[in-house]
Chain A
C-alpha cells in the first residue's frame, strides 16, 4: 500500500508518519513485539528445563485421544484438527481485512463471524483437551505420564504444558472478545461511516500473531 510521495518530500522529515501508518497500527506492531518476548521467555524457560532433564514424556503417547473415540490410539490427530481450525480462522480473518479494503460491510460481517466461530471452536477443543488430561490426573503440580524411557517424570511436563497453552488460550480468548467488538462495531456501521476498516486490520494483526504463536507452541509441546 504505497502512497505516492509528492516530489521533494522525504518520509522521515516530519509532518507525517514515516511508515505511512496511523499510530494505532504502529502501537499494535510494537505491542506484538513485546508480546513475542513474553512468549519467547516462556518457551525458552521450557527449553531450559526440558534440556536439563534426563528424560521427557513422549507427546505421541500423551496426546493420543480424540472425542468420542474411546481408547483408540490417534496420536496428535486432535491437536492437528485444532491447529487446522486456528489456521482456517486466520484465513477468514485475512478475507475480512480484504473485504474491509474493498469497503464491503456485508462481507466483513460474514468473515468476522466465521473468524469468531473458528476462535470459539479452537477454545472449545482446548477445553476438551484440558478436561481430558485433567481426567487422566494431569494438572499443575501433577504428572501421571512416564518419561519416554519408562522412568518417573518430573511434574514440569504438565506444569509447562498447562501454563503455556493456558497463556496462549487466554490470548485466543482476548482475540475472540476483540473480534466480537469489531463485529458489533461493523454491524453498527461505525467503519462504513468512518470510511475505512483500519480497526479490523489491527484486530487482524493480533489474531495472526496469536496464530503464529500457536505454531511455536504446537511445535514445542506436540512435535519435539
Chain B
C-alpha cells in the first residue's frame, strides 16, 4: 500500500475538496440540534465555549463581589443576604466562615479553569485555528464536539457542588491536603470535594481532547503555502498552549486519583500522623507526604498560568499589529519567546513551595529558573511596545484592551520578580501581595486579552459589531477599576496582611486598612456592574448590532477575513485560499496591508 493511499485514506488530511463534499455548505440539511447543540462546526463549538465561559465568569465574579462585601464591610449586616442565601450561609446577614471559604475556593477554580482555560482557549483555539491556517474544520470535528460536552459536563458537576448540603469544596482552589483529603477536617471536604475532583477529571479529558485536536490541526491541516513561519502569532500561541495542556494536565489527574484513594480507600499517599480536633481522633495513616500533593498540583498549576496567558498574548499580538497598521515587531523573537516560556513553564513549579521546607539549595535553583522567565516576557513586552511605536494607531475597543493587557502584564510581571526570590517570599508568601500579583499578571491580563479577542473577532463570529460606546465604557471602567482594586493590595501584602482570612477586625495592625478594604470592595462592585454591561452588549449585538458589510472590516491580512461574512460549515465556498506571504505585511510598498493570499510581486522576495 502506498503512502499516497495512507494519506488520502482520511479525506481531511490533504484532499480538502473531498472534505467539502462531506461538510460542504450546500449539501446537508441541518436541524436545530445538529446546528446549535451537538454541532461539529468549529465556529459553533467556539461560541458554545465562549457563552459557557461567560456564564461562569459572571458566577465567579459574583462570588468575588460577595466575599468583597464581607472584606470591605465586616461589621455591617446585610439582611437581604440571608433572604437570598439562607441562614446556613449568611446567618443574620453575615457571610459565615464556611461560606466565605467556599466562595474564595470556587471563585479561584471557576476563573482559573472554567473561564480562563476552558472559556479562553476553547473559544479562540476553536474559532481561529481552522480559519487562520486555512482548513475546513478541525482535524477531528467529532472529538472537538466531545471536548465541549466534557467541558459542559464538568461545568454541571462543578455547579451542582454549590448545592450539596455540606457545601462546595472550600480548601482553596489548590485543594491542598490534608484538608482536602479528610472529610472530618471541614464541611467543604465532604461531598463538595468529591464533586470538585470529578469535575476536574472531566475537565482534564475535555482539555486533552481539545489539545490533541489543536496540535494536529495546526501541524497537519495548514493550507498550501502556509508554512509555520507564516502563521499568525495567535496560532503559535495556541499551539504552545495546547502542548502545555497535553503534558501538564495528566499530572494533575494522577494527583487527584491518589487524592481520591486517600479520601475513600484508606490509603496514606498524602497523609501522615494526623490528629483531627473536631472528632478528637488520631488517624492511623502513616508514611504519606502532604508535600507530594503540592508537587503534583503545581506541576500542572504553574504551566496552567501560561495556559491562561499564552493565548491572551497571541490574541494581543494579532490585534495590536492589525490596529497599529504595522508588522508585528520581531516575529521570530515572539515565536522564540513563546517557546522559551513553554519550556520554562515546566521547570519552575516549586517556586510556589518556597516556604514548605524545601531544601534552600533546590529553592535557589528554582529562583534562577523562575527569574529566567523574565527574559522571554521582557522580549515580548518590548516587541509589543515597538509594534506600537510610530504606528498608525486605531483605537478600536479591541486595540484598547490589547494595550491594557500590555500595561497590566508589565505591572504584574514586575511584582513577579519580587515573589520569584525565595528570601523575599518568606515575607510575602500568603499575603495580599501574592493576590495582587497573580490577579494583575494572570487574571486581569488574561481577561483583557480575552476581551481584545472578543471585540476584534465578534464581527467574524456573528456578522455584526459590538456597540462601541458601551465597549469604551467597559474598557475604561474595567482597566482603571482593576488597577484601583489590585494596586492597593500590594501595600496590604507588604504590611503582612494574610490572604484567605474572613475578617481582620481583631488585628490592630491591619485596622489602618479598613477604609482601603472598603474602597477596594466598592470598586469591585462597580467593575462587576460594567461586566454586566458587556454581557448585555454581547447578546444585544448578536441580534441587533450594526451589520458587517465588508468582508475585511479591520483591513487585516489573515485568512479568516477572506471567508464570507457569515461563513458556513466548511468556511470557504469553493477552493481553500492559497497563502503566498507571512501574516504581517502592513504598511508595505506604499500599501496599507497586503492579504496573505496575494501572490508575491515581481520585486518581492519570499517571506
A156 at the interface (CB under 8 A from B): yes
Q: Size class of B's contact patch?
A: 35 or more
Which of B86-94, B171-179, B286-294, B363-371 participates in binding chain A? Answer: B286-294
Which of B8-16, B35-43, B188-196 participates in binding chain A? Answer: B8-16
Residues of B within 8 A of A101 (CB): 1
Q: How far is the CB of B605 from chain A (nearest CB, A)?
A: 16
Contact B268–A154 (Cβ < 8 Å) = yes
Which of A3, A48, A49 sits near B4, CB closer than 8 Å? Answer: A3
| Given known A45-B258, A49-B288, contact A23–B250 (CB-CB < 8 A) | no
Contact B267–A141 (Cβ < 8 Å) = yes
Interface string of A42-66 (1 = CB under 8 A from B): 1001001100110000000000000
Residues of A within 8 A of B257 (CB): 163, 167
Residues of B within 8 A of A141 (CB): 265-268
Q: How far is the CB of B17 from chain A (nearest CB, A)?
A: 13
Q: How far is the CB of A36 from chain B (nearest CB, A)?
A: 8
Contact B266–A140 (Cβ < 8 Å) = yes
Residues of B within 8 A of A150 (CB): none
Which of B220, B250, B288 sits near A17, CB closer than 8 Å? Answer: B220
Contact A17–B287 (Cβ < 8 Å) = no
Contact A196–B579 (Cβ < 8 Å) = no
A18 at the interface (CB under 8 A from B): yes
Interface string of A3-27 (1 = CB under 8 A from B): 1000000101111111111111011
A146–B265 Cα distance when bound, in Å, is 21
Residues of A within 8 A of B570 (CB): none
Contact B292–A33 (Cβ < 8 Å) = no
Q: Smallest CB-CB separation from B223: which chain A residue?
A: A14
Give the residue among B223, B249, B269 with the most A Cβ atoms within 10 A: B269
A144–B140 Cα distance when bound, in Å, is 49
A189 at the interface (CB under 8 A from B): no
Residues of B within 8 A of A39 (CB): 254
Contact B219–A26 (Cβ < 8 Å) = yes
Q: How far is the CB of A18 from chain B (nearest CB, A)?
A: 6
Contact B250–A37 (Cβ < 8 Å) = yes
A224 at the interface (CB under 8 A from B): no
Contact B286–A155 (Cβ < 8 Å) = yes
Interfacial residues of chain B within 240-297, with CB under 8 A of chain A in the complex = 246-251, 253-255, 257-258, 261, 265-269, 285-289, 292, 295-296
Contact A156–B10 (Cβ < 8 Å) = no
A188 at the interface (CB under 8 A from B): no
Interfacial residues of chain B within 1-37, with CB under 8 A of chain A in the complex = 1, 3-7, 9-10, 12-14
B224 at the interface (CB under 8 A from A): yes
B225 at the interface (CB under 8 A from A): yes
Contact B266–A154 (Cβ < 8 Å) = no
Residues of A within 8 A of B1 (CB): 101, 103, 195-197
A19–B228 Cα distance when bound, in Å, is 13
User: How many pairs, one residue from A and one from B, have CB atoms within 8 Å of each other in the complex?
Assistant: 175
Which of B216, B251, B288 sits near A37, CB closer than 8 Å? Answer: B251
Contact B246–A30 (Cβ < 8 Å) = yes
B213 at the interface (CB under 8 A from A): yes
Contact B250–A41 (Cβ < 8 Å) = yes
A149 at the interface (CB under 8 A from B): no
A141–B266 Cα distance when bound, in Å, is 5
Contact A30–B216 (Cβ < 8 Å) = yes
Residues of A within 8 A of B267 (CB): 140-141, 155-156, 159, 163
A142–B268 Cα distance when bound, in Å, is 10
Contact B216–A163 (Cβ < 8 Å) = no
Q: How far is the CB of B5 from chain A (nearest CB, A)?
A: 5
Contact A14–B216 (Cβ < 8 Å) = no
Residues of A within 8 A of B287 (CB): 49, 53, 154-156
Contact A31–B265 (Cβ < 8 Å) = no
B139 at the interface (CB under 8 A from A): yes
Interfacial residues of chain A within 144-193, with CB under 8 A of chain B in the complex = 154-156, 159-160, 163, 167
A194–B587 Cα distance when bound, in Å, is 50
Residues of A within 8 A of B299 (CB): 41
Residues of B within 8 A of A156 (CB): 267-269, 287-288
Q: Which residues of A contact B (CB under 8 A)?
A: 1, 3, 10, 12-24, 26-27, 30-31, 33-35, 37-42, 45, 48-49, 52-53, 101, 103, 140-142, 154-156, 159-160, 163, 167, 194-198
Other contacts beyond A22-B7, A23-B10, A196-B6: 20, CB < 8 A: A13-B225, A16-B13, A16-B14, A17-B219, A21-B6, A23-B217, A27-B212, A27-B216, A31-B212, A31-B246, A35-B250, A45-B254, A45-B296, A48-B289, A49-B289, A154-B268, A155-B286, A159-B268, A160-B269, A197-B1
The 3 closest A-B pairs by CB, nearest first: A141-B266, A154-B287, A15-B224
29 A-B contacts (beta carbon < 8 Å): A3-B3, A13-B224, A13-B225, A14-B225, A14-B226, A15-B222, A17-B14, A17-B219, A18-B220, A21-B220, A22-B7, A23-B13, A30-B246, A38-B253, A41-B251, A42-B254, A45-B258, A45-B269, A45-B292, A48-B295, A49-B287, A140-B265, A141-B266, A155-B287, A156-B268, A156-B269, A156-B287, A163-B257, A198-B6
